[in-house]
Amino acid sequence: MVEAKNSLHWADGLVILAYFVVVIGVGIISSCRNRGSVGGYFLAGRTMHWILVGASLFASNIGSGHFVGLAGSGAASGIGIAVFELNAIFILVMLGWLFVPVYIAAGVFTMPEYLMKRFGGQRIRIYLVVMALLLYIFTKLSADLYSGALFITQSVDINLYVAVIILLAVSALFTITGGLTAVIWTDSIQVVIMIIGAFILMVMSFIRVGGYDALERKFFEAYPDTTIDNWDNESYPYTKCGLPPANAMHLIRSYNDEALPWPGIMFGLTISAVWCWCSDQVIVQRALAAKNLSHAKAGTILAGYLKFLPLWLIVFPGMAARVLFPNEVACGDPKKCLSVCGSEKGCTNVAYPKLVLEIMPVGLRGVMLAVMMSALISSLTSIFNSSSTLITMDIWTRIRKHASDIELMIVGRLCIVVLVVISVIWIPIVQNFGELFHYIQAITSFLAPPICAVYVLAIFWKRINEAGAFWGLIVGLAVGLSRFIWEYVYTIPPCGEPGDIRPSIIKDIHYLHFGIILFAIVVIVTTVISLLTPPFEDKQLYRLTFWSRYSTEPRKDIDEKVESREDLTMDKTQHLNVGNYSDLPWYKKSCMWICGIEKMVEQPKLTIENMRIMEMKQCSIYEEKWPRRILSINAILLMTVAIFLFGFYA
């Protein structure tokens, strides 16, 4: 393994301790807000300021997997991997201007709930909940746990399971006690810590390699000794392994590039990004927590500006790590790599940890460890909160149709405990992952395009109906799983070794290109079946499509047999029959506080009229003229800067 400084200085320990004190304090204080209601717990009472929304959007996406994965890919192939971050800028604008207005007008808590209102029935909603949870477990949780554990175990002498369990426990504590309010507030604090720590490391990296120009020149000369020593050895199969690609400083690459072909980047990546940013519960839930639509749009713009940072704060330092430590980071001989990092397929994933542990002084090393903890905890809290929302609002309310708000909030907390257990059990499998970033993007390209296709069609074309959407999803799942299983039946041989027996359809069709094909298949199937089956009436689609988002006409439920969440709760008493709250034993008060229901004990029952007024206020997408214009100008400016950066590094 990479030689690590396994004993932190006392100053590093103080920095980490200060981090936990600050963040836990913020979590506890914020957990006292928006308690006592399902809307408060799952959507932060829809009272979040745009700065908090934007910071949480950024923090929810940038986890420890990004620090390890983006830096590793930067060390392996240059700046090309930054297209994943720059592409997200355009999709964030789509989220704020095209998708969120529809979600707010529809009055939904979750993304599956939107499709239930849009199409009726339950099978699409249940399908999406199951798919979302699978994607969370197999991509988000696995990536963050693996990369966080990789960094921590190389930084301090601590058992892998102990480190991960501690982080999981802290993450679950934030989410269980405070809900989305605590998650968003702690995300905001953690974004500041992440940016400051990563900026310091970036500056030190550029200084160590001699500046930007020197980094660009030296990167192409960063060969491992095993390669240099065998230039003329014809029997050595790894001569070309560990070499930097000639297009390392290009964002847009040839159509047949093995890592980042331009059609896949322009179209396939966009499809996956629309699923991630515009229909994934983890992300959209942050935007829905905004005070109003203007704050939601402003939050997406702020997150878009922050998306420029990973190229400089993560990718370029990863390239610097290759320059400074070519034998470890850029190793090409599988045997050498196995001894360095425990993997025969390369050691670029250790680029960022290696950089932190070797060039940062005492104290700042503790800051960076806190940064990684921040990134990991931000992602885990987001996943835990969103997963519990999906399970509670989309599954439990189907099982227990007359469940009280109190019951839903308790179930939401218990779901987080279950997810923590599953995460710990999943750790041994995470340790065996090879190319982590490639794995995540490939899984997304195999499973996400059908979901993306259905959401896009549902929002922008009223002719799509339930039968078309459902069978489009089923066909897409069958095709995607077939490619997924086929992909991992075969093992890709390490660099320089013969024996790649994969069929051409797997070896030659990039996973991003496959995502384009899968998206097209689902669009065709969904469209054909919808046109062959009866359409919905217009009065069933008011405020459920982009074109009808401003409608004030009363909407007729598509499936009248399915009671809405509001209908289920409107006729129920919202207080607990437990007697006087002040007379309860201390342990009962403690349990109620942890579950966030102490304010509901003596809460008066809301009338039907009050419920209607609250619903109309929360579903309003009205914007004042000048804020709307200013936000639109900022969105255009944001996309213009992104286009310039694409052109500059094209």
pLDDT digits (tens, 9 = 90+) for 110-155: 788 898 899 988 888 888 878 877 787 777 777 777 777 777 666 6
Give the highest mean pLDDT range of 2-16, 24-38, 62-76, 205-219.
205-219
Query: How many Å is the Cα radius of gyration of the chain?
Result: 25
170, 155, 133: which is closest to 426 by C-alpha? 133
The count of structural domains within the chain is: 1
CB atoms within 10 A of CB 474: 15
Query: Residue 385: is its pLDDT beyond 50?
Result: yes
Are 154 and 5 spatial neighbours (Cβ–Cβ below 8 Å)? Answer: no
283, two tokens: 């992300």
Confirm whether 547 is domain-assigned.
Answer: yes
Distance CA(58)–CA(608), nearest Å, equals 38
Give the highest mean pLDDT range of 333-337, 494-498, 553-557.
553-557
Tell me, what's the pLDDT at 95? 95
Q: Using pLDDT thresholds of 50, 70 and 90, give the confidence band for residue 1.
A: very low
Confirm whether 592 is domain-assigned.
Answer: no
pLDDT digits (tens, 9 = 90+) for 492-545: 776 767 767 778 778 889 999 999 999 999 999 999 999 999 999 999 999 999
Confirm whether 3 is domain-assigned.
Answer: no
Give the highest mean pLDDT range of 188-202, 425-439, 462-476.
462-476
Are 177 and 24 spatial neighbours (Cβ–Cβ below 8 Å)? Answer: no
Could you tell me the residue range of the domain that residue 507 belongs to?
Answer: 10-572+620-648
- Could you say which DSSP state residue 316 is in? H
Tell me, what's the pLDDT at 517? 96
Tell me, what's the pLDDT at 618? 67
Confirm whether 604 is domain-assigned.
Answer: no
477, 456, 476, 458: which is closest to 466 by C-alpha? 458
Confirm whether 587 is domain-assigned.
Answer: no
Confirm whether 418 is domain-assigned.
Answer: yes
What are the residue ranges of helices labelled H in 247-310?
A: 262-263, 269-274, 281-288, 293-306, 309-310
**Window from 166-180, 240-254, 453-467, 611-625 with minimum mean pLDDT:** 166-180
Token match 């490939």: residue? 442
Residues 328-347 have a mean pLDDT of: 78
Looking at residue 178, which CATH number applies to its domain? 1.20.1730.10
Q: Please give the mean pLDDT across all residues of the chain.
A: 79
What are the residue ranges of helices labelled H in 95-159?
A: 100-106, 111-119, 123-135, 142-155
Residues 331-350 have a mean pLDDT of: 77
Residue 341's contacts (CB-CB under 8 Å, 6 or more residues apart) are 1, 2, 328, 331, 347, 349, 350
Query: Residue 601: is its pLDDT beyond 50?
Result: no
Confirm whether 504 is domain-assigned.
Answer: yes
Confirm whether 612 is domain-assigned.
Answer: no
Distance CA(258)–CA(510), nearest Å, equals 7
Query: Residue 547: is its pLDDT beyond 90?
Result: yes
Are 324 and 224 spatial neighbours (Cβ–Cβ below 8 Å)? Answer: no
Tell me, what's the pLDDT at 571? 40
**Window from 257-266, 309-318, 572-581, 612-621 with minimum mean pLDDT:** 572-581
Q: What are phi and psi of 439, to 5 degrees?
A: -60, -45
518, two tokens: 């899968």
